[in-house]
Amino acid sequence: MTKTQRTKKTDKHSNLSRIRHSASHILAEAVLRLYPGTKIGFGPATEDGFYYDFEFKKPITDTNLPKIESEIIRLITEGRTFKRSVQTVAVAKTWAKKIDQPYKAEQIDELKRTGHKRMSFYTSGDFTDLCEGPHVTSTKDIGALKLLSVAGAYWRGDEKNKQLTRIYGTAFATQKELEEYLNMLEEAKKRDHRKLGAELELFTFDDRVGPGLPLWLPNGTIIVDELERLAKATELTAGYKQVRTPHIAKQSMYLTSGHLPYYEDSMFPPMEFEGDRYYLKAMNCPHHHTIFGSSPKSYRDLPLRLAEYGTCYRYEKSGELFGLMRVRMLSMNDAHIYCTPEQFADEFRAVNEMYLKYFKLFGIKKYIMRFSTHSKAGLGKKYVDEPKLWKATEDMVRRVLKDSKVPFVEVANEAAFYGPKIDVQVWSAIGKELTLATNQVDFAQPRRFNLTYTDKQGKPQTPLCIHRAPLSTHERFIGFLIEHYAGIFPLWLAPIQAKILPISERHLTYAKQIANQLLAGGIRVEVDTRGESVGKQIREAEMHKVPYMLIVGDKEKSAKTVSVRHLTKDDLGPMAISKLIKLLGDEITSRN
């Protein structure tokens, strides 16, 4: 389950979660009735529905779903009750062996290894499943249900294991809620960043390069550059200093930082040469700590805010890669703020306020700060073993959030290994939720790197460090923006801001003259030189989401004007070139 899935109403005891968990149970029963001999894996409720993993004797496709769904509905209408029972490990293992379900047997062994002495089962009719639950009382309480798709999924999410067939579905208490959700899914398909990314020629992937490693095409690179320009200007005003660091580093640095072994599974395997092991950079923080420590610091030098547009590389499992949202190359808008304890509240608040300014700029109206804390049980294993520092730091973060009056929820046992963190959840225009930004406190790594500053009394002190990435990675953020805007970017972000459409070939010279004036005015413009009809030129420009279409013919040439057509506002009429340049220039500068 992802962070996103945990933020919404996914409490396993909520009514919606009970409905979806029960639906996955009935899905498994329906599959076993229709396809005897199928092996069954997991079947949880999720943020948007449910799924169940199967090993079929013969592969199935989406064309099999109507048949399975009909069987589910038949079982639901019988109004069976769900009955829970608890069995010993021995009884559970006998059950799994008797029904020949090896994945269930493996689950039972795993539960036994983790200290479980008794197992929970749910039965409806003559079908029993190993399941923690809870479920609704009767199958008739499931409400409205729809199977959505078939996909491949590795057993336990490990690509070394067998690939199973995952059937996705969703369920709601009422038919109306289901229909609203399905309508939203249709809109989401139109906005899918993978689909629009190809149509708008923003990015591509190629197996020769490798999975999860996007290639930015010229149009997409413009968006990347514009976001970088925005962030650097914002950070310059806020007192940040830009740095640059290598793409690789010695193992010793990551041992010092503590990322090994905490983070090793998410890093690419090391390279060995000259007697040393080197890793591809998975995070910028150790490099920035090294920069801080490269010269003596006094309290007068703090706060010191180091920012970088660095590229990091993380080994995401193949089955988890998803367009730009989950990649292995991450262009990070990253920074680290080194400050005294007295400066912490103002610095942490300023980071959150920067996020809010970005949200307003991009039209993100719904968001929540997700405050992740540690757990005592994880100290020394999942988290740095400093209980007093954990309490003090979490208290500081909680106080800033309350004083700032920003919406936040507190979630235990999900902090970074070196300190508490804020994950910023945002919702797109169609209600799609995403973890977009992060704001983390680090009380551990500065000490690991022996970072100090001299206080007013001339004594050495260890600074606090704030890790922050307000625009997430460019890959994820641009994927979000594509779907948020449905590919219709605000003018300042649009790869091609204006396209000149000559009515005939004899108007090309005038069209190119206008293009040169617009280019001189800082406007990204192209001329359609193919000689197609104006109607076709307009349709294709609209398909590529070009904000302004400038039509030129005899009348416009004579009057030294252009006929302006806007992507969403239709015809704006004839306009002088100087007025057009000012109109577009003001819109670009204001970033409306």
**Mean pLDDT across 106-134:** 92
pLDDT of res. 11:
58
CATH number of the domain at 365, please.
3.30.930.10
> Which residue, of 453, 485, 517, is where some domain finishes?
485
Contact 251, 277 (CB under 8 A): yes
The separation between CA 567 and the C-alpha centre of its own chain, rounded to angstroms, equals 29
Distance CA 143, CA 223 (A): 44
> Does 116 have pLDDT greater than 60?
yes
DSSP state of 156: G
* Contact partners, residue 156, CB within 8 Å, separation at least 6: none
**Amino acid code (one letter) for 168:** Y
Which range of residues forms the domain containing residue 570? 498-590
Distance CA 371, CA 143 (A): 34
Strand 498-502 relative to strand 548-552, pairing: parallel
pLDDT of res. 158:
81
Does 544 show up as a binding residue in the annotation?
no
| 357, 481: one domain | yes
Nearest to 75 by CA among 20, 116, 33: 33
Run of H or E residues at 133? none
Q: At what angle do helices 218-237 and 341-362 cross, to 10 degrees?
A: 140
| Helix count and strand count (H, E) for the chain | 19, 27
Token pair belonging to 295: 């010269």
DSSP state of 458: S
> What percent of the chain has a predicted confidence (pLDDT) above 70?
98
> Which residue, of 189, 220, 252, is where some domain finishes?
189
| 502, 481: one domain | no
pLDDT in tens, 514-541: 999 999 999 999 999 999 999 999 999 9
Q: pLDDT-derived band of residue 262, with 50, 70 and 90 as boundaries?
A: confident
DSSP state of 562: E
Distance CA 361, CA 591 (A): 8
Does residue 148 lie in a domain region? Answer: yes
Token pair belonging to 508: 């090309």
> Does 13 have pLDDT greater than 80?
no
Distance CA 60, CA 292 (A): 57
Does residue 264 lie in a domain region? Answer: no
| 476, 406: one domain | yes
Does 467 show up as a binding residue in the annotation?
yes
pLDDT of res. 547:
97
Does residue 280 lie in a domain region? Answer: no
pLDDT in tens, 563-578: 999 999 889 999 999 9
| 55, 146: one domain | yes
Average pLDDT, the chain: 92
Does residue 181 lie in a domain region? Answer: yes
Q: How many CA atoms, within 13 angstroms, populate the side-chain half-sphere of residue 334?
A: 22
Does 193 show up as a binding residue in the annotation?
no
Tell me how many domains the chain contains: 3
Q: pLDDT-derived band of residue 4, with 50, 70 and 90 as boundaries?
A: very low
Give burial (CB, 10 Å; 0-12/13-18/19+) of 43. Answer: buried
Contact 43, 31 (CB under 8 A): no
| 216, 334: one domain | yes
Does residue 86 lie in a domain region? Answer: yes
CATH number of the domain at 513, please.
3.40.50.800
Contact 45, 12 (CB under 8 A): yes
Contact 168, 51 (CB under 8 A): yes
pLDDT of res. 5:
34
Does residue 249 lie in a domain region? Answer: no
Q: How far separated are the first and last CA of the chain, in Å rounded?
A: 36
Q: How many CA atoms, within 13 angstroms, populate the side-chain half-sphere of residue 346?
A: 9
| 369, 327: one domain | yes
pLDDT in tens, 145-169: 999 999 999 998 888 899 999 999 9
More confident residue, 379 or 585: 585
| 48, 136: one domain | yes
pLDDT in tens, 279-335: 999 999 999 999 999 999 999 999 999 999 889 999 998 878 999 999 999 998 899
Token pair belonging to 303: 């706060």
| 225, 350: one domain | yes
pLDDT in tens, 432-489: 888 888 888 888 889 999 999 999 999 999 999 999 999 989 899 999 999 999 999 9
Give burial (CB, 10 Å; 0-12/13-18/19+) of 511. Answer: buried
Residue indicated by tokens 């062996």: 97
**Mean pLDDT across 404-412:** 89
More confident residue, 480 or 404: 480
| 180, 43: one domain | yes
> Which residue, of 460, 485, 510, is where some domain finishes?
485
| 49, 171: one domain | yes
CATH number of the domain at 152, please.
3.30.980.10
> Does 93 have pLDDT greater than 90?
yes
pLDDT of res. 3:
37
- Identify the sign of the CA torsion 152, 156, 160, 162: negative
Does residue 259 lie in a domain region? Answer: no
**Mean pLDDT across 15-33:** 95
pLDDT of res. 160:
86
Contact 141, 80 (CB under 8 A): no
| 121, 227: one domain | no
What Rg value do the Cα atoms of the chain yield, rounded? 28
| 438, 559: one domain | no
Does residue 389 lie in a domain region? Answer: yes
Contact 371, 348 (CB under 8 A): no
